Every structure is written in C-alpha cells, then in structure tokens.
Amino acid sequence: MLSGRIDLQSRELHLTTRSHGHGTNQLVLENNPFLQSITLRSDDVTHVLTFESTESSIATVEDIDLHSSGTCDERVATLISKFDFLGCAFFALRLDGSPGKDPEISIRASAYYPVPLYLLMSRDCVDIDWDIVRLLMTHRCTLDVDYAKAIHAGTVPYGSSTIAAEIKMLPERSTAIINKTGVRVDAAPDAWLPARRSLKPGCEASALLSERLSSFVMDRFRISSSIAVEVSGGVDSALLVALMKHRSLKPRSLGAVISESQPNGPQTYRIGRIEERLQHEILRVCAWSFLDQTCRSVAAQYQPDAYGEYCYGAFGRLWDDFVSAGCVAVVGGYGGDELLLPSESMLTVDETVGQYSERRVNFPAAVPIVSPSALLACANHAPSLLRRGLWPIRPYCDPRLARFCYTLPAASGRDKRVFKDALASMSLADLFHDGYLKESLSDLIRAATISEGRRSEINAAPGESTSADKVRPERIWLEEIAEKLLGLSRTGLEKHLKEGQLS
C-alpha cells in the first residue's frame, strides 16, 4: 500500500509504502525544479498529480495498492518505476535501522542538480531488509557484496556513526548517461568513452594528465574529440579549452589565445598566459576526479588502515601525474569543491604533511589533513554545498568557513540583498578564529563583489560629473560590509584596497 502527501509550494513528495512482512519504507522526493506532474499507476487505477493548483498547497495520495499480492521484488520494482520521470536519474539513499525498528529508505532526487548516489548506513543497521537492498542494486545501482556483508555483520569499525559508500548507478538507457556533475551526454556507452585527443608535439606532459582525466573532463565539459592543442605554459591547456567551451568564455578571457581553423580539420588553440582563476578550475576538476576515484574504492578497502593507505597511495599516483603536467601547488579547502588530502590513520598531521612534502606537494594555504572516514563524509556532503550556489567559491583553510557558506540562503548566490542581510544577521566571532578572520572575509567579499562588479558603472547625468567621479555600486556595498564586518573605516578600506587585499 502507498500513501503520502505532496507539498505544492516546496515541491516535495512524501510517500510511505507498507509492504506485507517488510515494514514501512518512507520515500522522499524533494526540491525538483522540473517537477510538474506525477503519474502513479497500479493494476486497476491511475493517479495523476500536478503542481498547477493554487488553491491548496497539499495534495494527498491515499492507499494506492502496489501489487500487494506480489513478492517483495515485484512490489519494490513497481514502486521504483513510479519515479522514473522527468529525467530524475540520481538518487541518494539512506537506510537507517535499529533493533526492533523498521528500516527507512529516503530517496532524494533532482533533475537539475543531480547528486552522487550514496548508500548511507548506520553501524547499528541489523534489521535492514536486504531483499530491498539487493533489488535496488539490481534495478538502479551496483554495490560490492562483500562490503554490504561487512556492514551487515557490523565489522566496519569506522569512527563515525555513519559510513558512506558510493554506489554507481547503471544507465537506464544506452543513449542517456548523466554523470556526477549533471552533464547529460547523449551517446551510447561505447561512444561515451572519449577518443584519444590529437596533441601536437611538445605537450607530452600535459597528455599524461589529459589521458588520466579524459573521460571525466570530456564528459563534464562536452569536449569534442577533434581538438588539437598546442601547449605553452606547462598546464594542461586541453582543460582550459574545455572550460572555454563549457563557460562560453571569449578567447581573450583565457589570456593570450590564438585560435586557428584548418580546412576540414580540428580547431587548434595556442594558449599562453593562464589566469589564476582558471588554474583553480583545473584543480577543482582534478579534485572531483580524485574524490570520485577514492570513493569508488571504499567497497574493497573498508578497513580504516587499509583505506587510509589506499587514499594516500591513490593521491600520490594522481599527484605524480599533476607534477608531470606542470602543476606545482594544491589549493587546500574544505568546501567540497577543493582538494582534500587523506592521511594514513596511524600518522600525525605533521607526519602526513611531511610525506606530501616529499612528493613535492606545495601548499599555498593551510590544507586540512582528514581521516578516511572524514574524507568519505565530506565527499558525500560536497554535492549539497555545490547545489546551494555558494558565493564564496573558494572557502580556503577553515572548516568553519565552509559551514558558514552552507548556512547562507540559497538565494544569496543570486541576490545581493539576501546575501547582505544574511551577513548582517550573523555573529562572525563564532565562525572564524582571529588569525583567519581577515583572509576569510576578504575571499568572501571578493567573490561577492566580483559577481556584482561585472555590471556597468553607474553613469552620472551629463555635465554633473566626470568619469573619475563615477561610483561603482559594488564599491558602495563593499564599504558597508567592510565597516560592519571588518570594522574598517573608509580610510582603512582604501588602504586594504590599495594593498590589494580586498581587490
């Protein structure tokens, strides 16, 4: 039996299924921006629910019989099929259970911001219906059986109360694959794997990194395989070409770029100076690849010591490719889109930093060294940070800054007033320590003002002022923020701007 409610304002669907002999399963489908209607079909009746009503904010589905006489497999398979609509392809599943309680399954899906597929299990889950898990594995995803058995037997001694394991979703159709970053690729699985790019002589080092991340980058940025790249600068310019194509950037925004077209041939890009912000984008791509790589391994490496060693070894191998491709530093962070460095479980932070230093890993800022379980938890948390449309795109160094970013309203990424009101209502003393206060807010303010600074300057009426008297709107707002948050007067702000700390 299936019953539930739909909140038409928040676009949330809450459904509860009661299967004979298998307890109660709670399914939640929330915040789907494209959700307009749902069709639920059983053997003898069809229910169509829409979000077009303005008279009531709640729609109710009462007792829909989903093959109550069938097996568990049939009932759950029928239930899962009800949610295959409007491109919802990624689900985050949470199975919680304890002795004497029925398991709860929460399915969260988004068509616009797909999230990675994770299976989160409490260490005390002893009454989980493994028939349902097996069915989800068969119909929607894959999971390492040995890892599942280890969880079931309670032999996974992670320090936290919740452990995360990635499950890879099987493509529902051979012509549609959606990856973690939400890029839809309309190609058959064989064609989805990119062909080796044609690289001109002199860029063998970049080819190493390109080849290692080719499928990830090609899929994320929809690069055509017919791209020839000539490198000058020591960084994988194929990634920059990808960024240029993906973000519709003009060639000039990449620095000294010359584009040449050959008759009936590939496009050739010669990239000279590389802007710092694009280098950050490259590292973000690498970080995503690293998180993807390490999370996939958890099924086979579920012991803390072995998993820590695997993470460190995996990063070491990846970093060797970075060095060969010309990368010289790691941007540290805790916000989900920066690189997190794993540690071996028996080493101190200083010892771990020493190991990374031996690999020529340079840190321009403090980098958090995290345990394997924390790395998994952050990998699971990263998509929710990205979906929030964070304004401070590089929450360096301090986990408190990441938490601060996460508390910002989602609209703060689009509306300056929302962002300003949120800042004014917060007590920053609880968010940052003294040594990081200025740097944190500098990054935050810079990111906010850059977003607003792309607008044109306010033009004064003819005859009233000269160009030197024009006032940039983001400058006015920056003065207000600086005075409120940093305690800087106009003179102090001028000093910081002159020194380039808040530019």
* pLDDT tens digits in sequence order for the chain, 503 residues long: 344 444 444 444 444 444 333 333 333 343 333 333 333 333 333 333 333 322 233 333 333 333 334 443 344 344 444 433 222 222 323 333 333 333 333 333 322 222 222 222 222 333 333 333 333 333 333 333 333 333 333 333 322 222 222 222 222 222 222 222 233 323 222 222 222 222 222 233 333 333 333 333 333 333 333 223 333 333 333 344 443 333 333 333 333 333 334 444 433 433 333 344 444 444 343 333 333 343 344 333 334 444 445 445 555 554 554 444 444 444 333 322 333 444 454 555 556 656 656 655 544 333 444 444 333 333 333 333 333 332 222 333 334 444 444 455 656 545 556 655 665 565 444 333 333 333 344 444 444 444 333 333 333 334 444 333 443 443 444 444 444 444 444 455 455 444 444 33
pLDDT for res 355: 64
Q: How many separate helices (H) and strands (E) can be counted in the chain?
A: 16, 20
Could you identify the residue written with the tokens 């299967």?
19
> 502 with 482: CB under 8 angstroms?
yes
What is the pTM assigned to this prediction?
Answer: 0.22
15's enclosing H/E stretch is strand 12-18
Sign of CA dihedral 119, 122, 124, 127: negative
Task: Determine the pLDDT at residue 440.
Answer: 40
Please check whether residue 162 is in contact with residue 121, taking contact to mean a CB–CB distance below 8 angstroms. Answer: yes
Amino acid letter, residue 167: I
Residue (of 221, 437, 440) closest to 334 by Cα position: 440
The 3-state DSSP class for residue 178 equals strand
- pLDDT for position 387: 33
DSSP-assigned letter for residue 195: P
For residue 425, what pLDDT is reported? 62
Residues 6+ apart with CB under 8 A from 353: 363, 369
pLDDT at residue 118 in the model: 26
Of the chain, the end-to-end C-alpha distance in Å amounts to 60
For residues 273 and 94, give the distance between their C-alpha atoms in angstroms, rounded to a whole number.
46
Q: What is the DSSP string of 219-268?
A: HHHT--S-EEEEE-SSS-HHHHHHHHHHTT--GGGGSSEEEEE-TTS-EE
3-state secondary structure of 301: coil
Cα dihedral: 395, 397, 402, 408 (round 10): -50
Q: What is the CA radius of gyration of the chain?
A: 26
CA–CA separation, 288 and 216 (whole Å): 9
Domain boundaries, the chain: 2-170, 184-274, 282-387, 404-503
Mind giving me the DSSP string for 401-431? HHHHHHHS-GGGGT-HHHHHHHHHTS-GGGT
pLDDT value for 410: 57
